[in-house]
Structure 1
């Protein structure tokens, strides 16, 4: 092929007849650049494997621990504290705290649902796209939720339920019963 009277190669970087040794050298330089990139692969595989592992563990953890924890609080702890709170200001305070904490549980669970599909793909190594802003929001909001509950609700719950040892024992038994598998007849 000719362009403006100059012979042009049909393919870029194709060897020319006037500098064949230089062409081999350029080819080697290109090969070495690609091999340098390939040499980076082992260092990149470890973080990718760790990302899959964290995603997989997080999926199981949220399903098995966090959701169950919210259920324990909402079905056992919150009702026990409400039932034992003194009528008036104390019960109103507990009701406000319980409402706030329950609303936070739902908000955290909604955030999780938005992330869950991406995390499943990451866990399978199918994708590394992730809503990082959503993930950061989930972590920050859960930290805030846990700190508030630790600072405000749990000390109040301890004070209220601690007035009567039977109330603490009943809560402990209820939690134990929720987490004890029911034996199936014939399989004891």
Structure 2
């Protein structure tokens, strides 16, 4: 040995192998976590993909159904005066909320599409939480305030309820292509 009595790497090749194994084992411990991490990642992709499809196909269509069919039917069937004023005020509020929710969605949609494809992306979690909270509040308000009023107004005349049902049915029934029945 030299004068310092400290072993040099040349003197301890077995210790080097041991240290190398320690590093390899730490990396393998991380690799062993991968299956547990893949399941939530796969679920995140699935939820993002389903949400993108659902928002475009169901929620936007739902808003259109309300704005083109339900809201006008309720206003037209309401009694002039306080009832119609209230109906119009609620319709304005709900329509404004639709636009706000759709704007929030449009800000999130691109990021959700990336998540759905498994691409790395920093999702706007605050925006996502705001969308969910605001939509829950919107639905709760509509369920407790507007829909009971709509039911009462449209139920006064069976023809009005039937007309709404028919209009909604027609909006969602594919039209046959000429020459094909």
Give the TM-score, by structure 1 length: 0.91
Q: Which runs of 4+ in 1 moved over 2 A?
A: none
Q: Write out aligned runs for 1:1-188 (5 A).
A: 16-188=9-181
2:83 aligned counterpart, secondary structure: helix
Equivalent residues, number: 175
Do 1:52 and 1:124's aligned partners in 2 also have CA atoms closer than 8 Å?
yes
Shift of 1:187: 1.7
170-179 vs 18-27, which deviates more?
Answer: 18-27
CA distance in 2, matches of 1:127, 1:25: 36
Larger relative contact order, structure 1 or 2 (CA cutoff 8 Å, min sep 6): 2
For structure 2, the 5+ residue unaligned runs are: none
Partners of 1:143 and 1:128 lie apart in 2 by 26
State the TM-score, normalizing by the size of structure 2. Answer: 0.95
Per-residue deviation, residues 10-64 of structure 1 (Å, max 9, x unmatched):
xxxxx81121111111110000000110111111111111111110000000000
Give the drift of 1:128: 3.8
Specify every segment of 5 or more residues in structure 1 that has no aligned partner in the other structure, as ranges: 1-5, 7-14
Counterpart Cα distance in 1 of 2:30 and 2:121:
20
